[in-house]
Chain A
């Protein structure tokens, strides 16, 4: 009886895979673009998502009043077709395009935009604050939006903003905004979210009401790979059409492969080593958070660490030579915002200097075990590793090696990116290496390191940006100044000052500028756009113009086939398994009989 039930179960499984194949064939005829990446969404909620993957979703789902030109990021019309700036520069009147609609056919009006700006400002939505903090908006009629700013704003009339649908979001109360699951899939961009399987993929379907007109692709599937090598193999075999975050080791080979274009996309992204230097100042309720190692709140201790990092070696050995050694934080996709550092300002790689600083500051190894002590205890820092990054462990190998040489111990814990966001918010770490990809205007990146952006919300540990816990009132003041400085030269100087201060604090050690390594196949789609032109990436750029520009190549086989083959393989495997199992059962019976 037992064996019979087993066989029945197998038959059912076979049937199930058959059904799957039928399902897959039903998809044939659809034009599907499949993009591989190694990072899952943290949340599809546009007010709270922080990961690069989530930003790509937001860029696709929510159109912006003004857009960024593909070539050079200059401000071009988006949802708004034209605008007028008042003489004092404080008021901008936007005229929206005619007949705008959300993907669910509800009209998209100036009221939606005004609602987004005003509510985001009042409730301080994480991803909006930098843009809307000084703005207030009013919908004069369906197509006329008046935006007023309290202080002169160098970014206006550019208004890059993820406009949310009022009719959806007004149902979400203020205290639930950051936790809203946001699977509604209502948007105004080229694609809207249809399905998200955590850790596996998310699927977006074409929005028939996109203001540029419905795009030529029916669906984009973002497939999350646990292993970057598997992603490269999938790209080679044609299972996916493009890959983001190609490992540096595989990049040179892809560059030489026919039918594949490998892109080294520069847009200011960088890898950094963060030193948790939160010094316990209010308003954080320290009883609900973890504190950094007390030595890290000492500037001299951090400076010693900064002197112990050899960025050239990291670029050479960890990044495969692709990238440049870092200096200050890079706040923008445009490198002109990065200041030149003088030799005295620079923390050069010098282990003796590092040791000397530590000795002078009183961190000495009195028991001769190779580790310096803080108040009688060996200094061992908590170093967080990122399981989703293949450079995390190699970076750690070097960094902990140098730290050990200057007498600082480390202890590892491993997290995926979603977990690390929370762990870092809670302050339960001393060091880790992660990366940022800045926007075009430096303001958002700069705003992340103001005192306001330190995590204080114990009910949601992901509600922050300032992972270093860096807080410098002068920096905050300069931030306010650049935020209202209309003279571009003067603004650049202020920004340079801020970056120098931040660099000097040694809370953030920028290891290297890291280009986005991407690759795409040329056999199924044409029209890939680099943003900015010639140097930028093709996907995951600031406004990702590739998606609405791509067209399928006539006669190329469509994505449905891959799935069908998968189904056939599943059937074959199931049949073989069934046969093997049946054989095994029979054999077992026989031997059982023999035994008896």
Chain B
């Protein structure tokens, strides 16, 4: 949680912490930064093969990584929740169709689909968000649907229906609020997956070439031969940042899930 706070703060305060102009190669040239400088030569984190300081890239990279992670998660969660609630609640043909669609997305291997979509749509930040968003909703949809199936049989829902409430009203007022904890817990678990996906796509050269993200830093360092040059200050920081953010999101997500997911709570109760 604390780690997460630090990263979010860094992303928000990027202009204070780092100099955006330093992301440009021509600035590095104008300011005469040395190339391949180690942290000892040019603090705090040295420079890359073109002379751009790593620190500024890292700070601005956190913006892209977090933004993509969260935006893609919002898309995935909205699609997933809508499909799950509608499918579970309406049932019948609608449910069958939505469930098949979900399964269809579920069985398509994620990375190849994401690569194809990213290649077809073209490399831009919006497209990356879109690609990750529309490829990572099926798990959420299945989870929500199963929860809705159990909720809609509950007494208060039946009662509400007996009182003449419409389907939309019940979905909005009764079903959605009761699956909300599950949605939130699931969202926190989707963010790290989305961040990892962004890193992977950027590393494969499918990210937005005009923006620095942790994935694109890894890609740049790989293609410029940083591994061979043993320029650890270039590839290690973004790698460690990805690990730290993903880990903290996952831990927070698990904790939230433990608190909010009724099923997990129930199973704990049984255990006791």
Contact = CB atoms under 8 A, between A and B. Distances in A.
Contacts of B210: 412
Given A249-B228, A317-B51, A398-B29, A393 B123 contact: no
Contact of A249 (B51, B123, B220, B229): B229
User: How big is the B interface, by class?
Assistant: 20 to 34
Nearest to A247: B225
Contacts of B123: 412-414
Contacts of A405: 26
Interface in A351-409: 385, 387, 390, 393-394, 396-398, 401-402, 405
B267 to A, nearest CB: 11
B24 A397 contact: yes
B25 interface: yes
Contacts of B229: 249-250, 253
B225 A390 contact: yes
A233 interface: yes
Given A317-B50, A394-B50, A414-B205, A401 B24 contact: yes
Given A394-B49, A394-B50, A412-B123, A233 B224 contact: no
Given A318-B50, A394-B50, A250 B225 contact: yes
Contacts of B174: none
B225 A232 contact: yes
A228 interface: yes
B220 A393 contact: yes
A317 B24 CA distance: 13
Interface string A414-425: 100000000000
User: How big is the A interface, by class?
Assistant: 20 to 34
B223 interface: yes
B222 A227 contact: yes
Nearest to B221: A229
Contact of B224 (A387, A394, A402): A394
B228 A394 contact: no
Contact of B228 (A233, A317, A387, A398): A233
Contact of B25 (A249, A317, A413, A414): A317
Contact of B209 (A247, A318, A385, A398): A385
A313 interface: yes
Nearest to A246: B225
Interface string B203-215: 0011001100000
A583 B227 CA distance: 35
A229 B222 contact: yes
Contacts of A390: 223-225
Interface in A241-259: 247, 249-250, 253
Given A397-B50, A412-B210, A229 B24 contact: no
Q: Which of B35, B50, B123, B225 has the most CB of A within 10 A?
A: B225
Contact of B225 (A229, A310, A317): A229
A229 B235 CA distance: 14
Contacts of A249: 36, 49, 224-225, 228-229
A229 B206 CA distance: 20
Contacts of A313: 29
Interface string A290-322: 000000000000000000001001000110000
Nearest to A317: B50
A227 B220 CA distance: 12
Q: Which of A250, A385, A393, A414 has the most CB of B within 10 A?
A: A393
B122 interface: yes
B228 A232 contact: yes
A396 B24 CA distance: 11
Nearest to A414: B205
A385 B209 CA distance: 10
Contact of A317 (B35, B206, B222, B227): B35
Interface in B191-211: 205-206, 209-210
Contacts of A250: 225, 228-229
Q: Nearest 7 pairs between A and B by C-beta? A: A401-B26, A397-B25, A412-B209, A229-B225, A249-B225, A229-B228, A390-B223
30 contacts: A227-B222, A227-B223, A228-B225, A229-B228, A233-B228, A247-B225, A249-B49, A249-B225, A249-B228, A250-B229, A310-B29, A313-B29, A317-B28, A385-B209, A390-B223, A393-B209, A393-B220, A394-B49, A394-B50, A394-B224, A397-B24, A397-B25, A401-B26, A401-B27, A402-B26, A412-B123, A413-B123, A414-B205, A414-B206, A414-B209
Interface of B: 24-29, 35-36, 49-51, 122-123, 205-206, 209-210, 220, 222-225, 227-229
Given A390-B223, A398-B26, A414-B205, 6 more contacts: A229-B222, A253-B229, A317-B28, A317-B29, A393-B220, A412-B210
